[in-house]
Chains A and B, each alone.
Chain A
Amino acid sequence: MGERVSGPEQRRVDPDVDLAVPADRAELPAHPAAVLAAVSAGGVLGALARAGLSAALPYDPAGFPWPTFAVNLSGCLLIGVLMAVLAKQANPPVLARPFLGVGVLGGYTTFATHAVEARQLAADGAAAIALAYLAATLAGALLAVWVGYAATDRLTPSVSGTGTGQRRVHR
């Protein structure tokens, strides 16, 4: 996946910010206020969406934490979609990744809530549910991010920024 996109994007591991990607390294010194404001504003929107969805979904403190599970899996699907879309762009908008990826999706998904929910379940004597929750989130999140990336990668027409320079449409 993503192997057709050559260049620094191939070295990316971290979608938030990866200092092995020169554009990521340069973005903060170049536009510190704009980058931090975009991350902050996106984070607010993502966190509000998470809080809204959590309040809307039924939640049983003694049972499987479905609201956080749904938030984390949907956010993982969307980061896959977003990174596949951005990887196809020769010159993606400078603030797209900081706003949508670091901000909105980073603010929407949460690791801390899932950790404390598992701890609480285990402390309440529901260790089996806690373990099932941690495992289902881990496996489901990975599957979601892979499906989001792979499906978007196949369905999006690619404009090669480097290499042959010709417009190639996949599938």
Chain B
Amino acid sequence: MTALLVALGAAVGAPLRYLADRAVQDRFGARFPWGTLTVNVAGSLLLGFLLGLPLPPAAGVLLGTGLCGALTTYSTASYETLRLATAGRFRPAVANAFLGVAAAVAAATLGHLAATALPWS
């Protein structure tokens, strides 16, 4: 049952990341990896929010482990930082590395705060 819920969430999360990445690049260009940064921050905000809610464990597995886990990615973000650095673009490389982590943790904190501030929590 747990595996099925993880699979269902990931089946949606991974293509959602691909489509969101394309949409962000369409609008803001591909020189800086804004698309990956966007999904990582959005997924961290959502997971922080979900973990602040009194959810049943099954919902946490489906939406947290499955959806948010597959929507966000560390491998893609690291590869981007490496590519920027090896292309000699050190400032964007450092920005991508630190901005990604700082924004994701801030988003997770904000999401959690929002969920716990809601009347039903």
How many residue pairs at the A-B interface have CB separations less than 8 Å?
Answer: 221
Among A17, A103, A112, A138, max chain B CB count under 10 A is at A112
Specify which chain B residues have a CB less than 8 angstroms from the CB of A116 in the assembled complex. Answer: 44, 47-48, 51, 108, 112
What interface size band does chain B fall in?
A: 35 or more
Residue B14 at the A interface, CB < 8 A? yes
Instruction: Label chain A's interface by main secondary structure.
Output: helix
**CB contact under 8 A between A47 and B9, given known A15-B76, A109-B73:** yes
Residue A44 at the B interface, CB < 8 A? yes
**How many A residues have CB within 8 A of the partner chain?**
61
Specify which chain B residues have a CB less than 8 angstroms from the CB of A42 in the assembled complex. Answer: 14
From A13, A17, A98, A107, give the contact of B69 (CB < 8 A).
Answer: A107
Interface residues of A in 131-170 (CB under 8 A from B): 134, 137-138, 141-142, 144-146, 149
Which 5 A-B residue pairs are closest in the complex by CB-CB distance? A43-B14, A47-B10, A111-B72, A79-B75, A115-B104
Give 5 CB contacts A-B under 8 Å: A16-B36, A44-B7, A113-B72, A145-B75, A145-B78
